[in-house]
Amino acid sequence: MAGRNLTQKILEAHLVEGELKPGAEIGIRIDQTLTQDATGTMAYLQFEAMGVPKVRTKLSVSYVDHNMLQNSFENADDHRFLQSIAAKHGVYYSRPGNGICHQVHRERFGVPGQTLLGSDSHTPTCGGLGMIAIGAGGLDIAVAMAGGPFHLPTPKVVGVELKGSLQPWVTGKDVILELLRRLTVRGGVGKIYEYFGEGVASLSASDRFTVTNMGAELGATTSIFPSDEATRTYLRAQGREKDWVPLAADPDASYDEHIEIDLDKLEPLIAQPHSPDKVVAVRQIAGMPVVQVCIGSCTNSSYHDLGIAAMVLRGRAVYPDVSMTVTPGSKQVFETIARKGDLADLISSGARILESACGPCIGMGQAPSSGGVSVRSFNRNFEGRSGTQDAKVYLASPETCVATALTGKITDPRDLEEMGIQFKKVIEPDQYPINDDMILPPAKEPEKIEVLRGPNIKPLPRNTAPGDRLEGKILLKVGDNITTDHIMPAGSKILPLRSNIPAISEYVFSRVDADFVQRAKEWGGGFIVGGSNYGQGSSREHAALAPMYLGVKAVLVKSFARIHRANLINFGILPLLFQNESDYEAIGQGDELVIDSLAEQLRGGTVIVQNKSRGTRISAQHGMTSREVEVYLAGGLLNYTVKGA
């Protein structure tokens, strides 16, 4: 019998339904869940609707890290709701200011070999600890908290063999940018990336977390590293060595695909606007003037990342024409840089220190100037995501970012040596400061807890079962790589409405077509047509929930991003794929579409879509499993789950 890879071992240990055959649907037991405040309010409303008094996972944590700007009552009210409902239903609550969910979760809760499901697309961060950590929509997390399995097609496992070792000024960020350069943002759909080989040892825990975090940009289900001595050292520094177990693939393990990266030859890389896969070597565009540099986000806000910035800036100043921000990823990181003196070096340099939150990564403040070039250690650079529609956002390592902040132009960090700045490896503490006072445990007497609901928290919208005929006009036709930011924008104006679906639905596709919402209302809903990789990016289920509220019945595209496709099914919107991509060119906005004998066609596989406006027929595939078909026909996952309870 051939050896097993690490992914197979963990999935087998958690398998409750199906067989591990690539493409076949499986159900896995979920050990841990996490939510954040931009997605959590809906997830807990959905959990409430299931009538389960207490979560049935080993651990569930509710984080507040997205909506930290309290310009009005909405965010503060939602935070009180999240705190009270967590106390009542057995969930730990990480208070505002404690840090970004993925940074805190790896510090305080992640356990090698366990499964984690999170209502944030960057949940795979904890794969750096040897977990199977998957991002999903809030309704999937609610089902997992209620004790249900998480269903997904068995992913292919791609073995990424790392050879050699990282050279000075080259980091885990460059590893994942190299993969994005090779594979694109569509390359990882339906796959798990498992790292192995001699080069793994040269990646610190922080590097590994960066790699697994940005695996989401490949469209991957998740990414995973072995749990080895580096993992043990990290957990020991967190006072959690007891959680460590050694985990690795068998020596003769096989993979569905194999990729090699020679770390010795890797150089600093940078992603150009407006996609994480538009990657080139930093030296190719060095010299471009910049107006802003940001170090932080859930990708690169660890002590190591801030320590390298402080080392470079020590005794020096940020370039006069550059606004630089630094975000500690957690209270623990913030305290560590303060105690070690790094914070003083950063402040002295002129860097602006932001609170431990997602902040500018999700367009929550620090929008660049008009047309400005911003270099960020973040994970996404979609057009307009920064808050400035015409800004040009680049993604790079903290090393490249701080070199750029110092010189005022995009700079290969290896060139710092010519300025007399020698590379020094950041040594992480043997023991981090441990203070969990801002993580509140569930109430000991939950029956006494009153759930606090502000006026912005509206009743949960629920879809109804579709009839046997779908009909409507094409509300909008879009191209390739439409992101959830295109569908349901974020930012300080819109995100506070996340628990008020009638209000937030007014912004659906607002940055693509300002008339979309009005048209959807006038036409009584309808269809959306798109290109390849529709729905990439954030896991936000509002990109399905708000269109459902507006009457969107089906989405017909060339291909879907994994999480968004699942969210469409969860909320009773039919996901369809062109069987012949040439049909995409033959339809347009305003065309009237009809699907008859819906249930019969769905259970048969191929769906015929009639274009009444043009007198043509389109063959489509839905790609749903038999279970997903029944979920859709029930009007969505909540109806399906409650019905089967």
> Among the options 77, 120, 243, 412, which is catalytic?
120
> Among the options 65, 140, 342, 583, which is catalytic?
65
**Phi, psi dihedral angles at 276 (to 5 degrees):** -65, -10
CA atoms within 13 A on the CB side of 594: 10
Burial class from Cβ neighbours inside 10 Å (0-12, 13-18, 19+) for residue 565 reads: buried
As a whole number of angstroms, the distance between CA 383 and CA 395 comes to 13
66 is catalytic: yes
> Among the options 4, 14, 29, 66, which is catalytic?
66
Is 254:245 a contact under the CB 8 Å cutoff? no
Is 222:127 a contact under the CB 8 Å cutoff? yes
As a whole number of angstroms, the distance between CA 526 and CA 530 comes to 14
Residues in Cβ contact with 266 at an 8 Å cutoff, skipping those fewer than 6 apart: 166, 167, 170, 174, 175, 178
As a whole number of angstroms, the distance between CA 219 and CA 480 comes to 14
DSSP class of residue 387 equals: S
CA 140 to chain centre: 14
The single residue listed with the structure tokens 């043509």 is: 616
614 is catalytic: no
Q: How far apart are the first and last CA of the chain?
A: 40
As a whole number of angstroms, the distance between CA 214 and CA 136 comes to 15
Residues in Cβ contact with 437 at an 8 Å cutoff, skipping those fewer than 6 apart: none
342 is catalytic: no
> CA separation (Å) from 325 to 170, 295, 353, 365, 612?
22, 6, 6, 11, 54
120 is catalytic: yes
**Phi, psi dihedral angles at 86 (to 5 degrees):** -65, -45
> Among the options 486, 540, 564, 622, which is catalytic?
540
Q: What does the DSSP assignment read for 304-367? A: HHHHHHHHHHTT----TT-EEEE--SBHHHHHHHHHHTHHHHHHHHTPEEPPSS-GGGGTSS-P
Locate the DSSP E strands across 232-291: 257-262, 269-271, 279-281
Which H or E element spans position 601? helix 598-604
> Among the options 208, 376, 380, 486, which is catalytic?
380
As a whole number of angstroms, the distance between CA 490 and CA 233 comes to 37
Is 34:65 a contact under the CB 8 Å cutoff? no
65 is catalytic: yes
As a whole number of angstroms, the distance between CA 96 and CA 561 comes to 31
45 φ/ψ sector (left φ>0, alpha ψ -120 to 50, else beta)? alpha
380 is catalytic: yes
- Among 362, 353, 371, 361, CA closest to 291: 371
Task: Enumerate the active-site residues.
Answer: 65-66, 120, 380, 538, 540
